[in-house]
Chains A and B, each alone.
Chain A
Amino acid sequence: MSVNELFKKDLKVVNIGLKSFYNDLKSQNLTAVHVNWKPKAGGKTRMVSLLDKLKKMN
């Protein structure tokens, strides 16, 4: 499917990341689903390093 064809279709959005993007789309009555996703360990670098240490044991 070409990009031009894509833009002629109804927009259906899967939002990953900031929920405000999803809320904005919903407020405009667009079809959207929000993926409940967070960066690993919430982005806490100390926790990421601890988890990585355990993964490296293998």
Chain B
Amino acid sequence: MENLIEKANQQVLEIIQNARPTLIGLGIAGEVIPGMEKNLFLHAGPPVTWERMSGPMRGAVMAGLIYEGFASTPEEAAKVAASGKIRFEPCHHHQSVGPMAGVVTSSMPVWIIENTTYGNKAFCTLNEGLGKVLRFGAYGEEVITRLKWMEAVLYPVLKEAIAIHGPIDLKNMIAQGVQMGDEVHNRNKASTSLLIREIASSIVKTSFSDEDKVKVFDFLNSNDHTYLNLSMPAAKASLDPAGGVKYSTIVYTMARNGTDFGIRVAGLGDRWFTAPAEIINGLYFPGFTMDDANPDIGDSCITETLGIGGFSMATAPAIVQFVGGTPKDAMRYTTSMYEITTEESKAYKLPPLNFRGAPTGIDIRKVVETQILPVINTGIAHKDPGVGQVGAGIVNPPMACFEQALEAYVKLLEDEGLVE
């Protein structure tokens, strides 16, 4: 009967390995994300209410409310958020992902990714850069001004450029980036460069002024994390079709909202298994310490769920300058992830491990049995709204998520009379 599980897991791994995430264009969230409405705010991680939201999540919601014109001051925004006028739902429930707070509002531009093998789509906002930005919970004037510029200039230029260029194969681009020292979660330097190189002539060919084109190039070039908002929906698009494979013990979602960490397992459908998010061990910007840190937050660990990100840190030794540790630690993190995964990626190959494929397909049985937790590298948000990023580091999900999932999985089989 174990073959039932192995067969389901094999099917899931085939789905993941055969995925072909492709950038097909850009759109406005309210027009392209399924179910998106003006008074609906999407957020990272599993479901959470305003009352339980962490500081940076609240700050990002307040920034979104000012950006959308629901409020003109942070104080007013906090009142609107608590009034019940705004609905909050996870990005993951709307085919989307968002880094850190992951707040998506209806006017925001989004990348549109299609998994051309299975036809499903995934959406993600454009990356704002580091420091005082909405996704880290900042809501000052500079945050809103930048978001407005992104909507008015960056978005139309990129939309037209991608239309001129045509679809871009992100699987191929991530595979190249991974061989150039990126793990495409917290190190995206090579992949961002590849993207700019790929679309440069198309940007030049757009109908916009030279001044706007130069500003777009400068913005993309100034932000090494530009590509993060492509690697994330690429991972989401690759994993989502696995979501309905019954009896599979493979994890197809890991996400956190700054309060809770949640996972979803292919054989258990849309059900979240949550536990309190952990504090991150990392490097802090000057003037900040671990006491300033919010617990783990963001949908970006969808990259680790696919086997890149922290799972592939061996290929990105330079990342330790950002998240802490040594290159030896980076190697150790990756090699330990083979203990809890099912296959090696056929696309994402890691040169320092003799081109071994990235560890792919987290199995809840292996996590619980070995007690080895997935390794995630991540940015660190200040615990208070309005501050922003204070560092970056390494974190694990709570073991309780995997143990709850295993309980539910065995219960499912018991209910169906498949185990005693």
Which residues of A come within 8 Å of B, CB atoms? Answer: 38, 40-42, 44, 47, 50-51, 53-58
Contacts of B365 in A (CB 8 A): 51, 54
A51 to B365 CA separation, bound complex (whole angstroms): 7
Contacts of A50 in B (CB 8 A): 368, 406-407, 410
Contacts of A44 in B (CB 8 A): 403
Contacts of B419 in A (CB 8 A): 53-54, 56-57
A58 to B371 CA separation, bound complex (whole angstroms): 23
Q: Are B370 and A38 in contact (CB under 8 A)?
A: yes
Contacts of A40 in B (CB 8 A): 369
A-B contacts besides A50-B406, A57-B419, 5 pairs, CB < 8 Å: A51-B365, A54-B413, A54-B419, A58-B1, A58-B3
Query: With an 8 A cutoff between CB atoms, is B291 at the interface?
Result: no
Q: Are B371 and A42 in contact (CB under 8 A)?
A: yes
Contacts of A58 in B (CB 8 A): 1-3
Query: With an 8 A cutoff between CB atoms, is B415 at the interface?
Result: no
Contacts of B369 in A (CB 8 A): 40-41, 47, 51
Contacts of A42 in B (CB 8 A): 371
Q: Are A54 and B370 in contact (CB under 8 A)?
A: no
Contacts of B371 in A (CB 8 A): 38, 41-42
User: Which A residue's beta carbon lies closest to that of B410?
Assistant: A50
User: Which B residue's beta carbon lies closest to that of A38?
Assistant: B371
- Closest CB-CB distance, A39 to chain B, in whole Å? 9
- When A and B form their complex, what is the total count of cross-chain residue pairs whose Cβ atoms lie within 8 Å? 43
A55 to B1 CA separation, bound complex (whole angstroms): 9
Q: Are A57 and B418 in contact (CB under 8 A)?
A: yes
Q: Scan residues 1-22 of chain B and give those whose CB is less than 8 A from a CB of chain A.
A: 1-5
- Closest CB-CB distance, A28 to chain B, in whole Å? 24
- Listed from nearest, the 7 A-B pairs whose CB atoms lie closest are A57-B1, A58-B2, A42-B371, A53-B419, A57-B2, A50-B410, A38-B371
Query: With an 8 A cutoff between CB atoms, is B51 at the interface?
Result: no
Query: With an 8 A cutoff between CB atoms, is B420 at the interface?
Result: yes
- Closest CB-CB distance, B371 to chain A, in whole Å? 4
A47 to B1 CA separation, bound complex (whole angstroms): 20
A58 to B128 CA separation, bound complex (whole angstroms): 51
- Closest CB-CB distance, B327 to chain A, in whole Å? 19
Q: Are A53 and B420 in contact (CB under 8 A)?
A: yes
- Closest CB-CB distance, A8 to chain B, in whole Å? 35
Contacts of B1 in A (CB 8 A): 57-58
**Beyond A53-B420, A54-B410, is A47–B368 a contact (Cβ under 8 Å)?**
yes
A45 to B372 CA separation, bound complex (whole angstroms): 17
Contacts of B406 in A (CB 8 A): 47, 50-51
